[in-house]
Structure 1
Amino acid sequence: MTWTDAVVALLLLVGILGIVVPILPGTVLIGSTLLVWAILTGGAAWWWFAAVVVVLLIGTVVQYAVPGKRLKAAGIPTRTLLVGGVLGVVGFFVVPVVGLVIGFVLGVYLAETSRVGREEAWPSTVHALKAVGLSMAIEATAAVVASSIWVVAAFRL
């Protein structure tokens, strides 16, 4: 293992952790890292990089499509998620890292309270949280598969 491989492995790990703990854009970090790796390695590395791009693109599409479909089925409007997202970003700066989750939950709950009332707001909030969790799981799975492709490529090249 070269020092380049060690740096790439570390950045891939940081990218995966950035998905689970939303501090860094994990998918972008993984894709960028492997782009630089392909540039530095050259040759067949580009085919491996192409496979990584396909996996990350599929993961990104599925990450939004599947939870979005479930939220529509549960009757939760996009506006509710936008309010949750805005309060999540505000919460991130007020209480670093943990504030993102707290702000999102509070934003969704408040938006749903104004839309459907207090009794129905909490079940809607739970649906939204499950959708976010599913989205993160899908993105993390794509990131692990993409990183695994690099591991195979690193041993083969």
Structure 2
Amino acid sequence: MGVWQLVAVGLVMFLGLVGVLVPGVPGQAIVWAAVLWWALTDMTPAAWSVLIGATALLLVNQALKPLLPHRRPRESGAPRKTLMLGGIGGIVGFFVVPVVGGIIGYVGAIYGAERLRLGSSGAGWASVRSVMRATGYAVLVELFACLLVTGAWLGTVLWG
């Protein structure tokens, strides 16, 4: 597989990660389709292993969706910008501090944005709790699953 095609697959995955944060966009399906595209063109056992793992993980994520609270971003009281910053923080955090950084970055970015907006630490944490109850857990679980798939793909491309 050529370098430009790998870059294109990576960009599609990135669009899928952003799609997880935007209501109505099937971000998880986009990430999976990018892995499928890569596996069909790479045709190595490692590529197929990543595809099988991604499929299993994303199916488990779909099975968990009914158990999580539905996304109700308006009920959180936080602006959309806060939720987007949380998602971006989760994506960046995942790659800065592998795996656990996704959760830390997500919650930390929401806290930072809300602390700046509301002006106090206590109000910032209260808003984080409200955001997590209204939409955060559902977004975080889906984003984390997609980040794990993206990380597995990137690890296989770089070191596989």
Structure 1: runs of 5+ lacking an equivalent: 69-80, 85-97, 99-125
Equivalent AA in structure 1 for residue 8 of structure 2:
V
Structure 2: runs of 5+ lacking an equivalent: 73-79, 81-128
Paired residue for 1:149? Answer: 152
Other structure's SS at 1:6 match: helix
Q: In structure 2, how many angstroms separate the alpha carbons of the residues matched to 1:17 and 1:133?
A: 15
Q: How does 1:125-140 map to 2 (within 5 A)?
A: 130-140=133-143
Q: Are 2:63 and 1:61 equivalent residues in the alignment?
A: yes
Equivalent AA in structure 1 for residue 51 of structure 2:
F
Q: In structure 2, how many angstroms separate the alpha carbons of the residues matched to 1:10 and 1:3?
A: 10
Other structure's SS at 1:67 match: coil
Q: How does 1:79-118 map to 2 (within 5 A)?
A: none
**1:127 Cα deviation from its structure 2 partner:** 7.8
What TM-score results when the alignment is normalised by the length of structure 1?
0.57
Q: Are 2:28 and 1:27 equivalent residues in the alignment?
A: yes
Q: In structure 2, how many angstroms separate the alpha carbons of the residues matched to 1:156 and 1:31?
A: 20
- Looking at CA atoms only, which structure, 1 or 2, has the larger radius of gyration? 1
Equivalent pairs, count: 105
Q: Are 2:38 and 1:48 equivalent residues in the alignment?
A: no
Q: Deviations over 1:33-71 (max 9, x none)?
A: 111110000021111110111121122222332337xxx
Equivalent AA in structure 2 for residue 6 of structure 1:
V
Q: Deviations over 1:115-145 (max 9, x none)?
A: xxxxxxxxxxx98982432111110010100
Would you say the 8 A contact 1:64–1:135 is kept in 2? no
Other structure's SS at 1:24 match: coil
Instruction: Judge which range, 36-45 or 131-140, deviates more.
Output: 131-140
Would you say the 8 A contact 1:59–1:139 is kept in 2? yes
**1:19 Cα deviation from its structure 2 partner:** 0.6
Equivalent AA in structure 2 for residue 66 of structure 1:
L
Equivalent AA in structure 2 for residue 24 of structure 1:
V
Q: In structure 1, how many angstroms separate the alpha carbons of the residues matched to 2:132 and 2:149?
A: 26
Report the RMSD for the aligned CA atoms in angstroms. Answer: 2.9
Q: In structure 2, how many angstroms separate the alpha carbons of the residues matched to 1:130 and 1:154?
A: 36
Would you say the 8 A contact 2:9–2:37 is kept in 1? no
Q: In structure 1, how many angstroms separate the alpha carbons of the residues matched to 2:56 and 2:11?
A: 22
Would you say the 8 A contact 1:63–1:136 is kept in 2? no
What TM-score results when the alignment is normalised by the length of structure 2?
0.56
